[in-house]
Structure 1
Amino acid sequence: MAGSILIVDDVSTNRIVLKAMLSGARYTTCQAASGAEALALTAVEQPGLVLLDVDLPDMSGIEVIKRLRADPTTRRIPVVAVTSHTTPEMRLNLLHAGATDILAKPFNELLMLARLRSLLREHGTDAEFALREATCRELGFAEARCEFSPPARIAMVAAQADTALRWKTALVQQMPGDRIEVIGQENALTRATRNAAPDIFVIEADLARPGEGLRLMSELRSRAETRNAVIVIATSPSAVETQATALDLGANELASTNLSTPFMAQETALRLRRQLQRKHALERQRETLDEGLRLAMVDPLTGLYNRRYASTHLTRLSEHALRTKRPFAVMLLDLDRFKSVNDTFGHSVGDEVLTAVASRLRGNLRPVDLIARIGGEEFLVAMPDTSLPEARAAAERLRRVIESTPIPLHDGRGISVTISVGLALGGTTRDTPQQLVDQADSALLGAKSTGRNQVNVARAGTAA
């Protein structure tokens, strides 16, 4: 149950109180009374979050967390450690073990629910990206990527420069390999736009005015350069409403304005490292998805679009033409006697020829024109808002460009090739995109049968 919360506590009264609190917020819950039961239920139910009391009869909360993190099926599930006698040492031990957050009893319901909402959103995003990445890999679109992460850029933004400087001094000792810099509030947006955006912003909630740090966070979330940055809001421990609001507005993490003390610096560094790991994992997953999408649409040899993308694009182009009453052209281009190139010179040379032809097509068409490789040596060109005379002139230009200059090969040789072109005009009738492609294909066969190296217009296009 991905949206459920597992409550782990050996005291039934505590479980009942938490269940009532969470049910009031419309959460589904399940319960466990021991560490062993928690491990078994988490593996089976796959909850969206685990609320784990650290004092259990059969094993420590730290041991439960370590086992959850060691299991690939449960390691991504957020675990919130719950304790009534927290100490700085215990908090550090829990975070080192893999706890996502720590709540001290008695709970502040407002802050607890805000934290749970934030963690459940985070877990849902992570799970969705992981699923899409796995799908891409199963389809063969992407390989697993190296998990090396470069040094992080961390920006400190506080109301007073000396406060930010103290934060930096304390964190440098805990994160010596990362770049930590102090940025004034007035430069936070412009600096992020001009240079490579920081990976993390640590922002004091109250800057020149109360709540201004939250407004700065909203601005950063609205900019493409900083939309995916980790944002940590620093407040005083007593500012519960501000903390809850920050989490609901999209803060990834909270910190204390007194984070320069040794224990707080260590805790903050652990939380920042967790957020960095998550950020880098999401970046890798986005790259995998982008690569999968690219491979789904693009021919890997020539870099042109493939048949799948061309079909969808032609449908959109046809709809646009019917709305605007402006025609569009469809060409099918085929390399003449290409089989003899492969037979004589080998397939690697054939690939060089195809790549060179693709490059010449790109260089001699408009940016708005679609160019796709739809077969071994067959290309499709779609030209929006184009009349028949314009399309024919473009086709003749492409034919001359291919014919006029031999294609240089890597070994210094050159091969002369020609193309035949079939041309059809769309947007003037109710012909479907596939019917237009069929008309262009018939015209292409006509060009081949009457001598090759020529442009032939489909009858429908001529009549139009």
Structure 2
Amino acid sequence: MSGKILIVDDVATNRIVYKVKLGAACYAPILAADGKTCLALARQEKPDLILLDLVLPDMPGTEVLRRLRADPATASIPVVVFSAEGDAASRLAALAAGADEFLTKSCDDQTLLARLRNLLREHEAIAELESGGAPIRALGFAEPVSGFEMPGTIALVTHRPETALRWRRDLEPQMPDKMILISREVALSETALSPVPDVFVIEYDLADPLGGLRLMSELRSRSQTRHAAICIVKQNDGSGGKALAFDLGANDVVYATEDPREIGLRISRLLQRKRTTDKLRASVRDGLRLAVIDPLTGLFNRRYAVSQLADIAAQAKDARQAFAVMVVDLDRFKEVNDHFGHSAGDAVLTEVARRLAANIRHGDLLARIGGEEFLIALPNTNLAMAGPIAQRLCRSVQEEVFAVPGFAPLGLTASIGLAICDPGVSWANEPVAAVIDRADQALLIAKSGGRNQVTISKNAA
């Protein structure tokens, strides 16, 4: 885990004390005595976390927070406000300005370090998602930031319904989000929990002293709730367990006796961070999809098709089964682009992709591997099965004309080269590229033989 922590305090003794504590915990402390130095070091050093005092000689800590959050270079750095005073006004001002946590300097070291570990884990997870999405954004695939956010869903999980009703009554004036009251059983039910809440607010003493923490562990282990934010609510400060909750994965821990405005701000912060990570995760997922998808037709691209064909060949070899590979090429497609324009050509290719997909089986591989060239792989398929499929694909292109906007309907045909790999014949010596090459050679024969036909290459010589 990264551990560069910027300590901002105007009292030299405090800076030294926390430098020693954090150094002993194997973090790398950086020191600043005022707000201006903090802002400069935050941009220059890119710390993993900032420990910020509210009282500074040149500007209030809340102003430092606002500037950190307003600067894209420092906006995502977690900030823990560490103050000698813990009055409600100071806490609310710090959280409203963008603090991730507010701790008093009387906080015990165990809780402090647990909270730092917790925030550093979250920061590192976000940084990994951002680094994964950077190449995607550079290619222009990232979507613009939405200016409007739909209300989130917050699940209140308590042992007694009256407790959840009281929480909802106190929190509703603080936030516009939807709040639902659910039991532990509903929280763990894949069918009853729809939609999945963005934030779970869980009672620490849920039926027994550690019931809330056990529920949190269960939620973290399940795919549908793994990425939800979790806030644990303790009844009072005297029972301990806050550090344990942070180390087990709680995103925040609050006390039931705290000002509802503060709890509302904390939950809103969790919801905001959850939305950010969801968008980053979706960006990475969409980028991975775009890396293997042809953007025009929605089919797989050549790179993905070749790797998948290698898997199909390996499975066929192990099972001693035949498989078939087809290369499909549209006849005289260049004339379409020359006479009707590239937009018409794109429309034709999209329709051809649809027709090909409609005439193969679920589990077969279909990819666009060139301008007007498509690759089809048929697992567990011999010649007797592949031949009729290839003929059907030929007819699907020929029998129905293509609608070209602004022009008369257009008739097209396709030629297909078909390569069959029979079990026990040349498995060890014929790589996937050679199979594709045999299908290509068969395609050339189909083209030279008059087009609109299927030519078969059974095995390598």
SS in 2 for 1:62: helix
Alignment partner of 1:394 out of 372, 389, 404 = 389
Cα deviation digits, residues 293-316 of structure 1 (max 9, x gap): 222211122111111211222222
Alignment match of 1:304 (pick from 288, 295, 299): 299
Measured in 1, the distance between the counterparts of 2:260 and 2:185 equals 26
Aligned residue in 1 for 2:64: 64
Distance 2:290 2:109 in 1: 48
1:13 is aligned to: 13
Q: What is the one-letter code of the residue matched to 2:297?
A: T
- Partner of residue 205, structure 2: 206
| CA contact 2:202–2:230 (8 Å) conserved in 1 | yes
Counterpart Cα distance in 2 of 1:326 and 1:315: 14
Q: Which moved more, 1:438-447 or 1:403-412?
A: 403-412
| Distance change (3 Å), C-alpha of 1:346 and 1:62 | closer
Structure 1 unaligned blocks of 5 or more: none
Give the counterpart letter for 1:135 in structure 2.
P
1:150 Cα shift? 0.2
Give the structure 1 partner of residue 335 of structure 2. 340
Shift of residue 78, structure 1, vs aligned partner:
0.8
- Give 1:161-200 correspondences, 5 Å limit: 161-175=161-175, 177-190=176-189, 193-200=192-199
Q: Does 1:101 align with 2:96?
A: no
1:434 and 2:396 matched = no
Corresponding residue SS for 1:417? coil
Q: How many residues align?
A: 457
- Change in 2 beyond 3 A, CA 1:36/1:352: closer
Deviations 1:118-159 (A, max 9, x none): 100111122222232332110233332324210111111112
CA contact (8 A) 1:204 1:235 kept: yes
| CA drift at 1:246 | 1.6
What is the letter of the counterpart of residue 170 of structure 1? Answer: D
Q: Does 1:380 align with 2:375?
A: yes
Once the two structures are overlaid, the 10-residue window that deviates more, 444-453 or 140-149, is 140-149
Q: CA RMSD in A?
A: 2.2
Aligned pairs for 1:282-293 (under 5 A) are 282-293=277-288
Deviation at 1:271, TM superposition (A): 1.0
- Give the conservation status (yes or no) of the 8 Å contact 1:4–1:28: yes
Is 1:216 aligned with 2:211?
no
Cα distance in 2 for residues equivalent to 1:234 and 1:11:
34
Change (3 A) 1:30 1:396: same
Deviation at 1:348, TM superposition (A): 2.9
The structure-2 alpha-carbon separation of the partners of 1:190 and 1:375, relative to structure 1 and needing over 3 Å to count, comes to: same
Written as runs of structure 1 = structure 2, the 5 A alignment for 1:365-376 is: 365-376=360-371
Work out the percentage of aligned pairs sharing the same amino acid: 48
Q: Secondary structure at the match of 1:40?
A: helix
Paired residue type of 1:327: A
Name the residue aligned to 1:278.
273
Please give the alpha-carbon distance, in whole angstroms, between the structure 2 residues aligned to 1:442 and 1:19. Answer: 71
> Residue 313 of structure 1 corresponds to which residue in structure 2?
308
Structure 2 CA distance for aligned equivalents of residues 457 and 364 of structure 1: 19
Please give the alpha-carbon distance, in whole angstroms, between the structure 2 residues aligned to 1:297 and 1:112. 45
The alignment status of 1:353 with 2:352, answered yes or no, reads: no
Task: Give the whole-Å Cα distance in 2 for the aligned partners of 1:166 and 1:447.
Answer: 76
Residue by residue over 1:66-86, the C-alpha shift from the partner in whole angstroms, topping out at 9 and shown as x without a partner, is: 222222211111111111121
Return the alpha-carbon distance in structure 2 between the equivalents of residues 8 and 68 of structure 1.
13
In the alignment, the residues of structure 1 paired with residue 281 and residue 11 of structure 2 have an alpha-carbon distance, to the nearest angstrom, of 43
Q: Deviations over 1:60-119 (max 9, x none)?
A: 222222222222211111111111121001100111122111111223111111110110
Q: 1:336 Cα deviation (Å)?
A: 1.1
| Counterpart-to-counterpart distance in 2, 1:339 and 1:4 | 59
Whether the aligned pair in 2 keeps the contact of 1:156 and 1:181 (CA below 8 Å) is yes
Counterpart AA for 2:416:
V
Contact 1:192/1:198 (<8 A) preserved: no
C-alpha distance in structure 1 between counterparts of 2:34 and 2:352, whole Å: 68
1:214/1:413 CA distance change after superposition, 3 Å: farther
Where in structure 2 are there 5+ consecutive unaligned residues?
none
Partner of 1:258: 257
User: What is the distance in 2 between the residues matched to 1:274 and 1:282?
Assistant: 12
When normalised by structure 2's length, the TM-score is 0.93
For 2:265 and 2:366, the matched residues in 1 are separated by 50
Question: What are the Cα deviations for residues 384-441 of structure 1, in whole angstroms up to 9, with x where unaligned?
Answer: 2222332223212211232233334567954332211111234743222222212211
Residue 434 of structure 1 aligns to which amino acid in structure 2?
A: A
The answer to whether residue 448 in structure 2 is matched with residue 457 in structure 1 is no
Change over 3 Å in CA distance of 1:86–1:189 after alignment to 2: same
| Amino acid of the structure 2 residue aligned with 1:119 | L
TM-fit CA distance, 1:443: 1.0
Are the counterparts in 2 of residues 301 and 355 from structure 1 also a CA contact under 8 Å?
Answer: yes
1:34 is aligned to 2:34? yes
On the 8 A contact 1:155/1:202 being kept in 2, the answer is yes
The CA distance in 1 between the partners of 2:316 and 2:146, in whole Å, is: 46
Amino acid at match of 1:148: F
Instruction: Show CA shifts across 1:11-30 (max 9, x none).
Output: 33322322222223222222
| Alpha-carbon distance in structure 1 between the residues aligned to 2:354 and 2:420 | 24
Cα 1:64–1:347 change in 2 (3 A) is: closer
CA distance in 2, matches of 1:221, 1:192: 17
User: What is the DSSP-based 3-state SS (H/G/I as helix, E as strand, rest coil) of the residue aligned with 2:300?
Assistant: coil
Post-superposition shift, 1:38? 1.9
For residue 223 of structure 2, give the secondary structure of its aligned residue in structure 1.
coil
